[in-house]
């Protein structure tokens, strides 16, 4: 395989969400966000993540669900063999970790009215953010927040109100330190706003009555890589509480317990990324190649590739996946091999073959 010679970020592949009942959660995300493509289904032992699960491997099941209109997917993740532990406090915006997944929608008002018509809990009404854009928050039945953001960046038309993951709202203790990771390494080098205030658009969000600093980051250059057209644009909103002390969202809990467990980027050039992360003080804490030291891929159920994790300055987990193989029609042994593309975006017809993995029933 010819090497690209640099690291390349194709976009947000998925946001990980820990749940108590995977099928129940997936049905809800299918209804709310149109996540009807099953990219992989992996039931195995998460041995490499033991350090984040009480020091021992844990059985789990994880499904990667995506929406072909565009955006990243959800890795819906459930512990098997232990009862997942919920937080023992009310999570508030600005608490340390991923507070909300950003989801892109075509029209804020239309999507807001649709959610109200089908009984999905809307939190703050239609609000205007610091850059003057209409947006709103919703909450799933499991306590997770989602920030609905209007976007014109779409992969294809499927007559759905929303796409998939568009980014995240992340609580940090020091925004300037955090930007070494989010701006320098992850490429969010454009500041859409940097405001300090008590914000009117957050008044009905838990913790939204506190003085805080909010920085919305985007990437100036289009992402590149096999699935970059599907993943599309994304943004990160960093929130630092200035009035009071935030709590760690996953304090005394395991990775995979209920809530947003990581933010995952699809990348090419893991060796070059590792070198950059080392140089900037964000060394890999998990590297699947430690188990496969030759050039074999790590098996991720129906898919395969390499994966690694780093922590932001407050311990929030960022995952990187270099995907080598994805199933198209598993029963016929039809897989998409990505190792020889050397960073080139897949043609649209090839990405569209993922429609053959569209869910017909939940099992």
Distances (CA, A) of 179 to 167, 173, 186, 217, 280: 15, 11, 9, 9, 11
Higher pLDDT, 234 or 6: 234
Task: For residues 190-212, give the mean pLDDT.
Answer: 96
Instruction: Express each pLDDT in 144-183 by its tens digit.
Output: 999 999 999 999 999 999 999 999 999 999 999 999 999 9
| Residue 363: per-residue pLDDT | 72
For domain 8-357, the CATH class is alpha beta
Where residue 35 falls among pLDDT bands split at 50, 70, 90?
very high
Tell me the pTM: 0.93
Q: Is the pLDDT of residue 140 over 60?
A: yes
Where residue 241 falls among pLDDT bands split at 50, 70, 90?
very high
Structure token digits, residue 321 = 């996946």
Cα distance between residue 106 and residue 115, in whole Å? 14
Domain coordinates of the chain in residue numbers? Answer: 8-357
Structure token digits, residue 105 = 């929608």
Q: Is the pLDDT of residue 293 over 50?
A: no
CA angle at 164 for the pair 163 and 167, rounded to the nearest 5°:
120
Distances (CA, A) of 213 to 45, 138, 238, 246, 285: 40, 22, 8, 13, 29
Nearest to 236 by CA among 193, 268, 274, 198: 193
């Amino acid at each position: 395989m010819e090497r690209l010679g640099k690291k390349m970020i194709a976009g947000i592949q998925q946001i990980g969400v820990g749940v108590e009942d995977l099928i129940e959660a997936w049905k809800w995300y299918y209804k709310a966000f149109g996540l009807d493509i099953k990219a992989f289904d992996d039931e195995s032992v998460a041995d490499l993540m033991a350090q984040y699960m009480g020091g021992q491997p844990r059985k789990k099941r994880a499904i990667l669900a995506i929406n072909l209109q565009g955006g990243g997917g959800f890795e819906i993740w459930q512990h098997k063999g232990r009862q997942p532990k919920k937080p023992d406090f009310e999570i508030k915006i600005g608490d340390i970790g991923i507070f909300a997944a950003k989801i892109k929608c075509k029209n804020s008002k239309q999507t807001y009215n649709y959610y109200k018509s089908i009984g999905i809990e809307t939190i703050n009404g239609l609000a205007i953010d610091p850059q003057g854009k209409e947006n709103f928050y919703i909450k799933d039945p499991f306590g997770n927040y989602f920030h609905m953001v209007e976007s014109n960046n779409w992969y294809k038309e499927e007559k759905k109100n929303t796409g998939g993951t568009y980014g995240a709202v992340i609580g940090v203790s020091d925004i300037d330190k955090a930007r070494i990771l989010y701006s320098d390494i992850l490429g969010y080098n454009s500041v859409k706003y940097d405001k300090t205030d008590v914000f009117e658009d957050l008044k009905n969000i838990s913790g939204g009555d506190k003085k805080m600093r909010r920085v919305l980051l985007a990437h100036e250059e289009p992402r590149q890589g096999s699935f970059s057209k599907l993943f599309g644009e994304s943004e990160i909103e960093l929130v630092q509480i200035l009035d009071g002390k935030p709590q760690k969202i996953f304090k005394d809990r395991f990775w995979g317990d209920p809530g947003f467990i990581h933010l995952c980027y699809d990348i090419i050039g893991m060796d070059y990324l590792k070198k950059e992360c080392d140089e900037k003080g964000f060394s890999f804490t998990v590297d699947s190649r430690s188990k496969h030291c030759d050039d074999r891929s790590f098996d991720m159920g129906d898919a395969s590739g390499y994966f690694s994790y780093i922590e932001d300055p407050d311990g929030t987990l960022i995952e990187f996946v270099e995907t080598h193989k994805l199933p198209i029609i598993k029963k016929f042994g039809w897989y998409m091999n990505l190792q020889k593309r050397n960073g080139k975006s897949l043609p649209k017809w090839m990405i569209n073959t993922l429609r053959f993995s569209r869910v017909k029933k939940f099992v």
